[in-house]
Chains A and B, each alone.
Chain A
Amino acid sequence: MELLKISKKNFLSFVDKKMSEKKSRIVGVIQKGSHFVFDDLQSSKDLRLDYDVTILPPKKYFQPQKEVMLKFAPKNVESYVAVNSYDPITIFGIHYYDLAAIYLMDRAFSDGDGDEHYIKKRENSLLIGSYPQKHFKQRFSRSVVKDQYYKVADLMLVDMGDEYVIEVVSEKGKNYLKGSQLKKNTYSLKQVEEAKTHIKDDQKLPVTVDIASEFLTRNYYHSVWKYFGDKCFSCGSCVFVCPTCYCFDVCEEIDLTLAAGQRIKVWDGCMLENFAVVADGHNFRRDRADRFKHRTFRKVKYLPDRYRYFGCVGCGRCADACTADIAGPNKVFKYILEKQ
Chain B
Amino acid sequence: MSDKPKVAFFDFACCEGCQLQVANLEEDIIKLLDLVDLVEFREVMTGSTSETYDIAFIEGSITRKSDEKRLKDIRERSKLLVAYGQCAVNGGINRLKNIWHSMDDVKKCVYGDDSYMPHLDTYPTKGVDEVVKVDLYIPGCPINRDEFLRMVKELSLGKIPRLPNHPVCVECKLKENICLFDKGVICLGPLARAGCGAICPSNGSPCEACRGTVDNPNKNAMHEILDKYNYTVEEIKRTINLFGVNPEVKK
Shortest CB-to-CB span from A61 to chain B, Å, is 13
Interface centre among B31, B34, B182, B220 (most CB of A within 10 A): B182
Contact of B170 among A32, A34, A236, A323 (CB under 8 A): A236
Residue of A nearest to B187 (CB): A323
B35 contacts A323, CB within 8 Å?
no
> Is B191's CB within 8 Å of the partner chain A?
yes
A232 contacts B221, CB within 8 Å?
yes
Q: A33 contacts which chain B residues (CB < 8 A)?
A: 178
Q: A323 contacts which chain B residues (CB < 8 A)?
A: 169, 179, 181, 190, 225
Contact of A231 among B153, B166, B174, B224 (CB under 8 A): B224
Q: Give the docked Cα–Cα distance between A66 and B156 (Å).
A: 25
> Is B176's CB within 8 Å of the partner chain A?
yes
A231 contacts B221, CB within 8 Å?
yes
> Is B69's CB within 8 Å of the partner chain A?
no
Contact of A273 among B169, B176, B216 (CB under 8 A): B216
A32 contacts B178, CB within 8 Å?
yes
Q: Give the docked Cα–Cα distance between A183 and B222 (Å).
A: 56
> Is B165's CB within 8 Å of the partner chain A?
yes
> Is B134's CB within 8 Å of the partner chain A?
no
Interface 1/0s, chain A 217-236, versus B by CB < 8 A? 00000000000001111111
Contact of A254 among B31, B153, B178 (CB under 8 A): B153
Shortest CB-to-CB span from B114 to chain A, Å, is 45
A233 contacts B157, CB within 8 Å?
no
Give B164-207 interface residues, CB cut-off 8 Å to A: 165-167, 169-170, 173-174, 176-179, 181-183, 189-191
Give A28-79 interface residues, CB cut-off 8 Å to B: 32-35, 37, 55-56, 65-66
> Is A241's CB within 8 Å of the partner chain B?
yes
Contact of A37 among B176, B179, B190, B224 (CB under 8 A): B176
Q: Give the docked Cα–Cα distance between A56 and B191 (Å).
A: 22
> Is A324's CB within 8 Å of the partner chain B?
yes
Interface 1/0s, chain A 263-279, versus B by CB < 8 A? 00001010011100000
B190 contacts A233, CB within 8 Å?
yes
Q: Give the docked Cα–Cα distance between A56 and B172 (Å).
A: 11
A55 contacts B178, CB within 8 Å?
yes
Give A295-340 interface residues, CB cut-off 8 Å to B: 321, 323-324
A234 contacts B173, CB within 8 Å?
no
Interface 1/0s, chain A 171-195, versus B by CB < 8 A? 0000000000000000000000000
A321 contacts B179, CB within 8 Å?
yes
Give A248-293 interface residues, CB cut-off 8 Å to B: 254, 256-258, 267, 269, 272-274, 288
The range of chain B's interface size is 35 or more
> Is B48's CB within 8 Å of the partner chain A?
no
Q: Which secondary structure dominates chain A's binding surface?
A: loop
Q: Give the docked Cα–Cα distance between A326 and B182 (Å).
A: 15
Shortest CB-to-CB span from B250 to chain A, Å, is 12
> Is B214's CB within 8 Å of the partner chain A?
yes
Q: Give the docked Cα–Cα distance between A231 and B157 (Å).
A: 40
Task: Tell me whether A324 and B176 are in contact in the complex, defined as CB-CB below 8 angstroms, given that A233-B191, A234-B167, A237-B169 are known contacts.
Answer: no
Q: Give the docked Cα–Cα distance between A324 and B226 (Å).
A: 11
Shortest CB-to-CB span from B92 to chain A, Å, is 23
> Is A92's CB within 8 Å of the partner chain B?
no
> Is A131's CB within 8 Å of the partner chain B?
no
A273 contacts B166, CB within 8 Å?
yes
Q: B216 contacts which chain A residues (CB < 8 A)?
A: 234, 273
Q: B149 contacts which chain A residues (CB < 8 A)?
A: 256
> Is B32's CB within 8 Å of the partner chain A?
yes
Task: Tell me whether A258 and B156 are in contact in the complex, defined as CB-CB below 8 angstroms, given that A34-B182, A323-B190 are known contacts.
Answer: yes
> Is A149's CB within 8 Å of the partner chain B?
no
> Is A240's CB within 8 Å of the partner chain B?
yes
B218 contacts A241, CB within 8 Å?
no
A233 contacts B173, CB within 8 Å?
no
Apart from the given pairs A234-B167, A274-B166, 4 other A-B contacts in the complex at a CB distance below 8 Å: A233-B222, A258-B153, A273-B166, A273-B215
Q: Would you give 21 A-B contacts (Cβ < 8 Å), ordered by A?
A: A55-B177, A56-B173, A231-B218, A233-B167, A233-B222, A235-B170, A236-B167, A237-B169, A240-B170, A254-B157, A256-B28, A256-B35, A256-B153, A258-B156, A267-B174, A273-B214, A273-B215, A274-B165, A274-B166, A323-B225, A324-B225
B-binding residues in A (CB < 8 A): 32-35, 37, 55-56, 65-66, 230-237, 240-241, 254, 256-258, 267, 269, 272-274, 288, 321, 323-324
**Which 8 pairs, one residue from A and one from B, show the smallest C-beta to C-beta distance?**
A235-B169, A240-B173, A233-B190, A256-B31, A235-B167, A65-B174, A235-B190, A272-B166
